[in-house]
Structure 1
C-alpha cells in the first residue's frame, strides 16, 4: 500500500496513470487473497514462518477481500 501511495503522490502524473496504478494494486490484492486462501505465502515470507498462518489464512484472505472492495467503491 505504501508503494501505491508513493506512486499516487508523484509529480506530473496523468489521471490515467494514477487510475492504472490503482487497478494494478487491486489486481495484487486479488492475487494475494487467492494465494493466502490456498495457504501459499510466497509473497509473505514473514507470515510463512508463523505457525498460526495456515489457521488464520481465511481471516487474512477476507481482510484483503475487504480492502479490495473498499478500493472498488472508490474507483
Structure 2
C-alpha cells in the first residue's frame, strides 16, 4: 500500500482518494497521505477539502510553512 498513487480523474474517484488519505493521517502515515494529496492537487488544483487535509498532514509532521501555504 505504500506505493499508492492517485490516478483517478473523476470527482467521485478523487473524493475516495481524499478519504483514503485522511485515514492515513489518522493512522499516523503522514508521508503516504501527503503523497496521495499532493498528486490530487496536481491533477485537480484548488480543491478546498484536499487543501485542508494536506495542510493538516504537513502540520502533523512539523512543516508549518507548507501547512500555512495550504490555508484556504
**TM superposition score normalised by structure 2:** 0.37
**TM superposition score normalised by structure 1:** 0.36
Which of 1 and 2 has higher RCO (CA within 8 Å, sep 6+)? 1
